Structure 1
Amino acid sequence: MTNRIAFQGELGAYSHEACANARPGMEALPCRTFDDVIDSVNEGKADLAMLPVENSTYGRVADIHRLLPESGLHIVDEAFVRVRIALMAMPGTKLSDIRHVRAHPVLLPQARKFLARHGITSEAAVDSAGAAAELPGLGDPGQGVLASELAAQTYGLEVLARDLEDHGHNTTRFLIMAPKADMTRRGEHGMVTTFVFEVRNIPAALYKAMGGFATNGVNMTKLESYMVGGVFTATQFYADIEGHPDDANVKLALDELRYFTNSLKILGTYPRDPARDLAGE
């Protein structure tokens, strides 16, 4: 056991914040790409992977659904992080000193009103935590960064303003993945089961496949399609349902689904995080 949890990005990124919140006793291991995160667990460099799967403002995280089924890992928990934007600068800097900020291009539009109100110009950076790491080397007191407060703590910067986002509902959902599935737990707030499947090439296959969830009273909270293998005829579906495969109604619904699919793979069964009821608020 390494007692490490791997994430994509630099120390101080929102994915790092997700690690710190969900597994505060573990060391966060930064990785360059999502593939590197998965490899670090499969190679024994980390025990867990923290992967963002969707955002309440921007939708599905690109490529993640493609990676999950082939990762060799299993979902063991979910975590939610509200994207709170802070303006940070070198210690001793005043807000009135800031003329220009850098941040990931996703963050800049969310702080448009604040920046306009203070006459601050902006520039896109590869990532916000990386911009925070670079700030001490610039030697310019008029420069600032928009990032998480964790980035300020990580790189010795001073937070000049908090919660700058124009709309306070931007939330990212993460999946915590491990080499082995844990089907023994029962969450206090229920369970979630995530799976991918490909329907058979017969008329109304998807309609018929979904019928089992309706007739057995299983709540499906997510259903998304995406192409596999670069062809338009091979459509795979990613789904979240409430419940555990051992539940009688879930078992019946999955049995019916299997009849209409070429493949079905359960990616994980894990406790339902009550934060999902607050996401987007």
Structure 2
Amino acid sequence: MRQTKKIAFQGEPGANSDLACRKAYRAYEPLPCPTFEDVFAALRSRRAELAMIPIENSVAGRVADIHHLMPNSGTHIIAEFFLPVRHQLMAPKAATLKTVKTAQSHIQALGQCRNTLRKLHLKSVAAADTAGSAREIAEEGDITRAAIASELAAKIYKLKILKRNIEDEKHNTTRFIVLSRKARWVSRAHKDVITTFVFQVRNIPAALYKALGGFATNGINMTKLESYMVGGQFTATQFLCDVEGHPEQPALRRALEELAFFSREIRVLGVYPAAAFRLAQKAAAD
């Protein structure tokens, strides 16, 4: 019998990453991993064919550690997926909004529901993750304790949802990247393409300004540029960048050539189709 392909994610069953895997890759079996390092290891060791990693959130910003782990992971970005995050307040079956006193979840989820928790007079309790909080609340069975997690977590751990969609910002969305062991560049003929790469500029005056000039002169739209320290050195800064376009198209090829002239290193992490969510937001903005 043919085994089901697996897609690895960080967290426990019912996490938002689990939900993203199920929505984007219905034919794959989600594989929970304790840490991001374990996700990359599962992919490299062939325990999973793909991996789904959150990289940024519209409310909380970038996800810590990913920028450091991904460039040296030996994996490649082949797709992106946007998941609107809907937080549910859940508790044991016998609980009500009158009995619960605390709400437990990941620190980011608590922050994203701060106003609602204040209105409900619930004390926030920080925990390792959302789904793990749901599991713990289910195991304890204490009607004074609630968790904030996904609807999937409530279903898995048989908890009652006391209040739905308690996030303060309805635009709360997490962007995920899909990773593979092998590079799978989308065809240059594809209409809407995102290229992700990292680079380090040489430590000379105005190096970043000069390095990025080629993108402006060649009409390349840069949708993301983030910097982070490398190896604990204040003079060694690496940049993660997303641009619209394919490296084999003349305009982006020229921009990357100019970037290379002022950089110590450039590494393309993926060339993949822009997600429908991204295109819809762009159309709305235009």
Q: What is the number of equivalent residue pairs in this alignment?
A: 280
1:222-279 superposed Cα distances (whole Å, 9 cap, x missing partner) = 1111111111111111110001111111111111111111111000000001313549
State which of 125, 128, 132 in structure 2 corresponds to 1:126: 128
Asked if the contact 2:7–2:31 (Cα under 8 Å) also holds between the matched residues in 1, the reply is yes
Q: Matches of residues 140-159 of structure 1 in structure 2 within 5 Å?
A: 140-159=142-161
Q: CA deviation at 1:186?
A: 6.0
Match of 2:256 in 1: 254
Asked if the contact 1:82–1:171 (Cα under 8 Å) also holds between the matched residues in 2, the reply is yes
Asked if the contact 1:80–1:174 (Cα under 8 Å) also holds between the matched residues in 2, the reply is yes
Q: How far apart in 2 are the matches of 1:273 and 1:173?
A: 10
- Normalised to the residue count of structure 2, the TM-score between the two structures is 0.91
Cα-Cα RMSD: 2.0
Asked if the contact 2:94–2:143 (Cα under 8 Å) also holds between the matched residues in 1, the reply is no
Match of 2:72 in 1: 70
Match of 2:164 in 1: 162
1:9-36 superposed Cα distances (whole Å, 9 cap, x missing partner) = 1111111111111112211111111111
Moved more, 16-25 or 178-187: 178-187
State which of 242, 245, 254 in structure 2 corresponds to 1:243: 245
Q: CA deviation at 1:193?
A: 0.1
Give the direction of change, closer, same or farther, for the CA distance of 1:269–1:103 in structure 2 (3 Å limit): same
Q: Structure 2 counterpart of 1:119, which letter?
A: H
Asked if the contact 2:186–2:273 (Cα under 8 Å) also holds between the matched residues in 1, the reply is no
Name the SS for the 1:95 alignment partner. coil
Name the SS for the 2:182 alignment partner. coil
Q: Structure 1 counterpart of 2:74, which letter?
A: G
Q: Structure 1 counterpart of 2:31, which letter?
A: L
Match of 2:100 in 1: 98
Unaligned runs of 5+ in 1: none
Name the SS for the 1:96 alignment partner. coil
Name the SS for the 2:247 alignment partner. coil
Match of 2:195 in 1: 193
Asked if the contact 1:189–1:274 (Cα under 8 Å) also holds between the matched residues in 2, the reply is no
Give the direction of change, closer, same or farther, for the CA distance of 1:85–1:234 in structure 2 (3 Å limit): same
Q: How far apart in 1 are the matches of 2:163 and 2:189?
A: 37
Asked if the contact 2:101–2:145 (Cα under 8 Å) also holds between the matched residues in 1, the reply is yes
Identity percentage of aligned residues: 51
State which of 37, 40, 44 in structure 1 corresponds to 2:39: 37
1:177 aligns with 2:163: no
Moved more, 54-63 or 184-193: 184-193
Q: CA deviation at 1:69?
A: 1.0
